[in-house]
Amino acid sequence: MKKKILALSAVLLLSLASVVYASDSIQAVLFPVAYEFNGKTKELPDELVTLNYENRAYIPARFVAENLGARVSYDPDQQVIRFNNSNRFDAATLQIGDTIAGMEVKDFDLQQADDEYVGTVQFSGSALVTGTFSYTMDERLGELLLFTVDRNSQQKLPQLSHDTRTLSFVFTNTEDAKRMFGVSGGTAPASGKVAVEIDEFFLNYQHKDVFNTAKLNDVYVHYKK
């Protein structure tokens, strides 16, 4: 028997195991089980455990939720544990290492201004999204290769909870992106519906403007309008 204080990382219930009562404490048994998500086995980090108590298994909530594409956060003021399976996140509770829409938060710089958070969040991880690319020559900005994400793909990329606009970004590897899309400097405006694989997503939300970036890995189903 081993006493464990259950915190945020061990709260979800599943049925199994046995129970023992002890006045004002809980006695639970360590339960060395394996975890499999959609056919793929994942190792439980050393600092996390699974417990047996009253014929039920208490499992690490964050570990399970994030491997299923959901998010977990804890509000210490209201003592509420929140689960959210969307791509939207609250800037006030963001932490490095959080997983949002399958991408990990590597760094961020968010400050509250005019009743909303502005700043940047850097993510690692890849995503396959559909949308429309548009290539134009802007007199002020020069070449502009913009990708606007389809509504049904927006949930595949992280987005601030107070950002209600269509998700879009430009590519950091511009020359590679131009080659993949079949455009070049000085050509006429071009656009098309595509599916793209991206990584290194960088969210930049600044006072009503979003200038997100991402690295383009590949382009699929490319056709011009």
Average pLDDT over residues 148-160: 90
pLDDT tens sequence across 196-211: 999 999 999 987 677 8
Return d(Cα 158, Cα 192) in angstroms, integer: 23
Return d(Cα 101, Cα 167) in angstroms, integer: 14
pLDDT at 185: 65
Q: Which residues fall within 8 angstroms of residue 151, CB to CB, at 6 or more apart?
A: 166
pLDDT tens sequence across 68-79: 767 777 888 888
The answer to whether residue 20 scores a pLDDT higher than 60 is: no
Average pLDDT over residues 217-224: 74
The answer to whether residue 54 scores a pLDDT higher than 90 is: no
In this predicted model, which residue has the larger pLDDT, 61 or 19? 61
Question: What is the chain's alpha carbon radius of gyration, rounded to the nearest angstrom?
Answer: 22
The answer to whether residue 149 scores a pLDDT higher than 70 is: yes
Question: pLDDT > 90: what percent of the chain?
Answer: 32
User: What are the boundaries of each domain within the chain?
Assistant: 2-67, 103-224
In this predicted model, which residue has the larger pLDDT, 6 or 180? 180
Average pLDDT over residues 187-203: 89
**Residue bearing tokens 């570990």:** 63
Q: Which residues fall within 8 angstroms of residue 188, CB to CB, at 6 or more apart?
A: none
In this predicted model, which residue has the larger pLDDT, 17 or 105? 105
Q: Which fold has domain 103-224?
A: OB fold (Dihydrolipoamide Acetyltransferase, E2P) (2.40.50)
pLDDT at 223: 44
Say what the pTM is. 0.64
Mean pLDDT of the chain: 81
The answer to whether residue 122 scores a pLDDT higher than 90 is: yes
pLDDT at 38: 76
Return d(Cα 114, Cα 210) in angstroms, integer: 16
Return d(Cα 117, Cα 94) in angstroms, integer: 11
